């Protein structure tokens, strides 16, 4: 009885192996899938004959309001805000320049070590 079970199990393994071999070996010969049908263009509504209006310019939050008239002098608050921005940008530039100087120094040291090692 046990030998019959072993025989059936062996036959099942051989059949499964043959199926897998057939599937894997001949999958390259399968025809390529059909290309998808081209999408149909959607019908567009007729364009209106009106002139396009430019979008309203909105200031970024926290930014000073633009002067309504070009010849008017800015308010003291606007001047202080602009000066604060300029000083922050100058500080940022100085920090970046110092970082670049440190990196250039480190690169020069590494190049010197490389030249000595050759």
- What are φ and ψ of residue 52, in 5° steps? -75, 135
Q: Mean pLDDT across the stretch 59-80?
A: 70
pLDDT band at 85 (very low <50, low <70, confident <90, very high): very high
Residue with the larger pLDDT of the pair 52 and 103: 103
Q: Convert the pLDDT of each residue in 14-43 to its tens digit.
A: 888 888 887 777 766 667 777 777 777 766
pLDDT of residue 12: 86
């Amino acid at each position: 009885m046990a030998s019959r079970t072993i025989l059936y199990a062996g036959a099942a393994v051989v059949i499964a192996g043959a199926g897998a071999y057939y599937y894997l070996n001949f999958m390259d010969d399968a025809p390529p899938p059909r290309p998808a049908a081209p999408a149909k263009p959607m019908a567009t509504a007729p364009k209106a004959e009106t002139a396009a209006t430019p979008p309203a310019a909105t200031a970024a939050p926290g930014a000073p309001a633009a002067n309504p008239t070009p010849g008017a002098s800015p308010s003291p608050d606007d001047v202080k805000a602009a000066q604060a921005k300029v000083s922050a940008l100058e500080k940022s530039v100085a920090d970046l320049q110092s970082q670049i100087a440190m990196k250039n120094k480190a690169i020069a040291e590494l190049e010197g070590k490389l030249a000595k090692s050759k």
